[in-house]
Structure 1
Amino acid sequence: MPAMTEPKLMSGNANKPLAQAIARRMSMHRGMSVGLVDARVERFNDQEIFVEVYENVRGEDMYVIQPTSNPANDNLMELLIMTDALRRSSAARITAVIPYFGYARQDRRTKARTPISAKLVANLLTEAGVDRVLTLDLHATQIQGFFDIPVDNLYAAPVFALDVLHHFKGQLEDVMVISPDVGGVARARELAKRIGAPLAIVDKRREKAGEVAGMTVIGDVTGKKCIIVDDICDTAGTLCKAAETLMEAGATEVHSYITHGVLSGPAVERVSNSVMKSLVITDSIQPTEEVLGCKNIRIVPTAPMFAQAILNTWSGTSVSSLFETDTLTPIYEGMYSRG
């Protein structure tokens, strides 16, 4: 059934530049101005969050853009309270657009007496009044099943494939895709299939959490330009160690394509001093000044993909079409040209 009203966007404080970029992109598609709903998301002196929506949203199709990145708890509470404000203002449908879904790494009980925080967050969002979720590269795809509402999980792989095909044009026969651990093989294989490259694995052993005892390369990377693929880069310790291991195994260059650049603590310094020639991340998390100033970190925009996904959701057309590189090529026109 065709939508009767225009989609309306609202943003918290987690990643305003991305929300504004999505609005600009949607304006191009719609041929009319699409802006963010006029609202304030502020804090009282004791850091309680207060939300006030200045526009009428009764009967509207609302899209709340808010990654739950650092500070995760503050950004999650902003999302919940914005949702509650919209629900109590009689919005017809509320879609939480969560480019980076925090707490996704706690998706199962790995030992006794531990939480499944991703399920708790899913319950909180649903109880707050979210009708559907739009996210990008969930750390564990089974998290979609934690929700009793529709969840559309977009993938960075088709955008990364466009970027690789553009930046490694004429060198693709030398490219090899690397999974930084056994658990990430499916994600790495997806990119390898899209660009027609072989696949290798870096197997790591941990003595304790956060510390890598040793790494072994499974596959021959001699003379290859290696591309490490993963969904999250936090402190970058494992990533930089994997790059060193690949160079020692005979790789000529190491590049990394990581969806979510958490980049906490010493991460940027480690990447800057690493043997990696480049780290490519998306803007799912708002980059800090330190990240923007790092010479070997490059950022790929997600606004074109999210804008199209929102428009497809609003109009009732397929979101899964955005899983294909061919579909995204015209959406990213100007950035990556064919041929």
Structure 2
Amino acid sequence: MFKRPLNIAVPTAPLKIIALSSCQELGEMVDAHLVKSRKQQISQEHTDLSILGYDSDTYLVSHNVPRFGSGEAKGEIRESIRGKDLFILIDTVNTSNTYKMNGSDTNTSPDDNFQDLKRIIQACSGQAHRINVIMPFLYESRQHRRSKLESLDCAYALQELVSMGVKNIITFDAHDPRVQNAIPIQGFDNFFTSYQFIQALFEAEPEIVVNDKNTMIISPDEGGMSRSLYYASVLGINMGMFYKRRDYSRIVDGRNPIVAHEYLGNDVEGKDVFIVDDMISSGESMLDVALELKKRKAHRVFIAVTYGLFTNGFEKFDQYYKDGIIDRIFTTNLSHVPEELSKKPYYKNVDLSKYIALIIDTLNNDTSVNEILDPIERIQDLLKIHNEKVLK
């Protein structure tokens, strides 16, 4: 059960959740946390909010997105959502689902997932009291700014959702949170996963000592500086950074290829290093950084990313683990975790379902999310307890 203040706030409207097929497993876990927590809250407070559906046996809404043989689709909601505070969960980068198109199995793409979200919003027909979208990986968030004649897909997608009646958009560790400037007067919350990552690190590596002498935070590029600075600051340790030298004379796979990774920062020799970033896509850049750190005689290399996409598979990661270049990889379940990855000896999953349940509960009650957004005190308490245990 997640912790909430003793006095239960009255919900802004009865809660309902739609977990799209791309996010079904995570949605069921979130629902289970909410059901358990709310029933316990009512029991402890001796309060009856059953009339508002507060202690429902499930908050999940039955729905479907059937497809025609041509690949076209429609959204269906199979129960009433009139007057409900509706939260829609979507994993835009889950491409594991398939559908039939012209007789062939076709994997869903981020475009398919986003269109399914819009179909379900249309199916609401304006009946919900409020529509909130929880989109951990912002659709097209890697295309967040324009450098020449290019589309601005993420900004346009946010504006599109707002025009359809979405009141709040909740995301995690956005690639560039400034994209919210596209919808400046709409609700947009960008939550971070730093507390959960540090907790998972201590669980997976109970003997690790986190201090200046033994540990460092590493940013794999200049774009991740603010994220790494936050980790280094709350943990009280030093930070190093790599920057990418690119060949701007040519484009490979839609981007300028990296020529080399240059390092700026303190000596990493003999230290455990913790590389933090928002995502692993192909992983080439992250593995290059790990190799450079090993060349500089780092002790152990841990990688923590919010979204593990692994678009080029796991073969190279397996080899780097076998060769002792990487020691562990942490990713969250905010994006789909393939079963193959979950069985890897170097992999540790960071479960965010309870965190999402707390966010939904807080927003449904229209109470402040400031404490959830800024977990500095909880991180420092966790660090103190861990180091005292290890250094005994």
Q: Name the SS of the counterpart of 2:175 in structure 1.
A: coil
Match of 1:191 in 2: 231
In the TM superposition, residue 162 of structure 1 has moved relative to its aligned partner by 2.3
Match 1:107 to one of 125, 137, 144: 144
| Equivalent residues of 1:179, 1:230 under 8 A apart | yes
Name the counterpart of 1:25: 33
In 2: Cα distance, 1:210 partner to 1:271 partner: 23
Unaligned runs of 5+ in 1: none
Amino acid at match of 2:14: E
1:243 alignment partner in structure 2: 290
2:13/2:364 contact within 8 Å kept = no
Q: Name the amino acid aligned to 2:316.
A: R
Question: 1:28, CA displacement in angstroms?
Answer: 1.8
**1:129 corresponds to which residue?**
165
How much is the aligned-residue C-alpha RMSD, in angstroms?
A: 2.2
Give the 5 Å matches for 1:84-233.
Answer: 84-86=122-124, 88=125, 90-110=127-147, 112-147=148-183, 148-166=185-203, 167=205, 169-173=207-211, 174-207=214-247, 208=251, 209=255, 211-219=257-265, 220-233=267-280
8 Å CA contact 1:144–1:151 kept in 2: the answer is yes
Post-superposition shift, 1:4?
A: 5.1
Deviates more, 1:217-226 or 1:162-171: 162-171
On the 8 A contact 1:57/1:89 being kept in 2, the answer is no
Question: Which amino acid is 1:247 matched to?
Answer: K
Q: 2:353 matched to 1:281? A: no
Secondary structure of the 1:3 match is coil
Deviation at 1:35, TM superposition (A): 3.4
- The CA distance in 2 between the partners of 1:326 and 1:60, in whole Å, is 34
Matches within 5 A, 1:248-287: 248-266=295-313, 268-274=314-320, 275-287=325-337
Larger of the two Rg values belongs to structure: 2
Corresponding residue of 2:17: 9
TM-score (norm 1): 0.91
Tell which deviates more after alignment, 2-11 or 51-60. 2-11
- CA offset at residue 158 of structure 1? 2.1
> What SS class does the counterpart of residue 74 from structure 2 fall into?
strand
TM-score, length of structure 2 as denominator length: 0.79
Residue-by-residue CA offset, 1:93-126 (whole Å, 9 max, x unaligned): 000011111211111112x211111111112211
Which deviates more from structure 2 when the two are superposed, residues 37-46 or residues 58-67?
37-46
Give the conservation status (yes or no) of the 8 Å contact 1:283–1:300. yes
Matches of 2:256 and 2:347, distance apart in 1 = 23
Report the alpha carbon displacement of residue 194 of structure 1 after superposing the two structures with TM.
2.2
SS at match of 1:50: coil
Larger deviation, residues 24-33 vs 163-172: 163-172
- Please name the residue that 1:325 is paired with: 375
Query: Quick one: percent identity of the two aligned structures?
Result: 23
The structure-2 alpha-carbon separation of the partners of 1:54 and 1:89, relative to structure 1 and needing over 3 Å to count, comes to farther
- Decide whether the 8 Å contact of 1:8 with 1:36 is kept in 2: yes
The farther-off stretch of 91-100 and 204-213 is: 204-213
Shift of 1:54: 1.3
Provide the rounded CA distance (Å) in 1 between the counterparts of 2:27 and 2:256: 33
CA–CA distance in 1 between the matches of 2:65 and 2:328? 36
AA aligned to 2:287 is C
Q: CA deviation at 1:168?
A: 5.0
Q: Structure 2: which 5+ residue stretches go unaligned? A: 1-8, 40-54, 96-108
Matched residue SS, 1:192: helix
Q: Which residue of 2 aligns with 1:50?
A: 74
Letter in 1 for 2:285: T
Number of residue pairs matched by the alignment: 331
Contact 2:26 2:353 in 1 (8 A): yes
